[in-house]
Amino acid sequence: MLSKNKIKYIRSLELKKKRKEEQAFIAESPKLVGDLMGHFTCKLLVATSSWLSTHPHIQAEEIVEVSQDELSRASLLKTPQEVLAVFEQPKHTFCPEAIKDSLCLALDDVQDPGNLGTIIRIADWFGIEHIFCSSGTVDAYNPKTVQATMGALARVKLHYCDLVSLISSLKDVPVFGTFLDGDNIYNESLSSNGLIVMGNEGNGVSREVSELINRRLYIPNYPQDRETSESLNVAVATSIVCAEFRRRLL
């Protein structure tokens, strides 16, 4: 049985302040919980008897068997799916050296949890292991972000930092960014290492960060003389850019 205090604790993790205090986050659904198990310490697992019976060797600090009704009271989803888990937030080592040896992403104040989750999933698909986020970027452990990652959070490391300081410290490393006045990405030379900066949904890359970008790119619309949307969604743009970088390596 799930106590009222446990339900209150689980639901409190919807708040960033509480997630920071507890250094924990919530994940829901069989696939997502299954993908994260073994990558993060599971502090609390809440599941129906049917789910537990098919996962007899599951490891968690505390396991509570519940009815579907009890799960609904604790869940943050409109349609709860058999299991939810509270995981400990990982303590990733800050790794700017990775930018010299591999392709990494930087996010400059991306605000939408769904966009961030999708970008993490895109990074995972294209083998990008590190994302550097400005302090103004939405929390990666927001429940909506975690759900949108579809488990990619297990393989992609998020680092929150001062992007201006980070980029300023890079020497002889390509720093890419997308701009409406940039150079056509399909005509430019792209590298297998460096940093790709993606900006805020409404304002793009901030002025302070844009001044440090040494490779300005543009994703052209088609046909170029046709009236079209003002810009692309940041997650969609990230996908196009990452795909083009990786295509060059094939």
pLDDT tens-digit map of 59-74:
999 999 999 999 999 9
Q: What average pLDDT does this structure show over 11-38?
A: 97
Tell how far CA 241 is from the center of its chain: 17
What is the reported pLDDT for 226? 83
Q: How confident is the model at residue 224 (pLDDT cuts 50, 70, 90)?
A: confident
Average of pLDDT values for 86-104? 92
Q: Is the pLDDT of residue 94 over 90?
A: no
* pLDDT score at 95: 84
Percent of the chain at pLDDT exceeding 70: 100
Cα angle 133, 139, 141; round to 5: 120
- The answer, yes or no, to whether residue 230 has pLDDT greater than 90, is no
| The 83-88 sheet, strands edge to edge | 24-28, 83-88, 42-48, 63-66
3-state helix, strand, coil in the chain (%, to 5): 35, 25, 40
With a cut of 90, say whether residue 170 has pLDDT above it: yes
The residue ranking higher by pLDDT, 231 or 11, is 11
Is the CB of residue 223 less than 8 Å from the CB of residue 99?
A: no
Q: What is the pLDDT of residues 122-133, one digit of tens each?
A: 999 999 999 999
Report angle CA 7, 13, 14 to the nearest 5 degrees.
Answer: 105
Domains of the chain with bracketed CATH: 4-88 (3.30.1330.30), 98-247 (3.40.1280.10)
Residue corresponding to tokens 């993606």: 198
Tell me the C-alpha to C-alpha distance, in Å, between residue 89 and each of 33, 133, 139. Answer: 14, 16, 12
